[in-house]
Amino acid sequence: MRAVEAAGLAGMPLLLVNPRVPLSTGPVFRAWDRIDRGALPDGDPLAVALAGRNDLELPALGLCPVIGEVIALLAAQPGVILSRMSGSGATCFALFDSDVARDRAAAAMADERPGWWTLATALR
């Protein structure tokens, strides 16, 4: 059984957004402060994610400031549960409380930033 299924998160509405600005992984890791902030705690995966972090977000923002705009626009959407940068960027994501909220957010992103790439999907 996949971790997402075991956690009861399978099917949670997800929106991926990329501002179509190239950001290579190497420079992000070179800009990282290399401080070990420790492992995330055990527990409910959604609660852990809500309390968690992406240690590469700050260096990625320094190299690609538009990531902050993507995260802020996602966070401002009705029905959003969590918005964050994925991996080393520049793709960001948001989890939503319903398919309707996710689809409205996808439409809003397309209207506000028509050049950005979006994908409305769900956790599997």
| Local structure of 3: helix, strand or coil | helix
Is the model's pLDDT at 78 over the cut of 90? yes
Count: domains in the chain = 1
Q: Is the pLDDT of residue 1 over 60?
A: no
Cα separation, 1 vs 6, in Å, equals 6
pTM score above 0.85? yes
pLDDT (0 to 100) of residue 4: 53
Residue 5: pLDDT band (50, 70, 90) is: low
Residue 53 maps to which CATH number?
3.30.70.890
Q: Write out the residue range of the structural domain in which residue 69 sits.
A: 3-122
Q: Indicate the pLDDT class of residue 37, thresholds 50, 70 and 90.
A: confident
Joined together, the tokens standing for residue 27 give 């420079």
Angle, helices 99-112/66-75, rounded to nearest 10 degrees = 140
Measured between its terminal Cα atoms, the distance across the chain in Å is 11
Q: Looking at mean pLDDT, say which of 29-38, 43-52, 100-109 comes out highest.
A: 100-109
Question: Is the per-residue pLDDT at 69 higher than 80?
Answer: yes
Q: What is the DSSP string of 38-100?
A: -PPPSS-HHHHHHH---TTHHHHHHH-THHHHHHHHHHTSTTEEEEEE-TTSS-EEEEES-HH
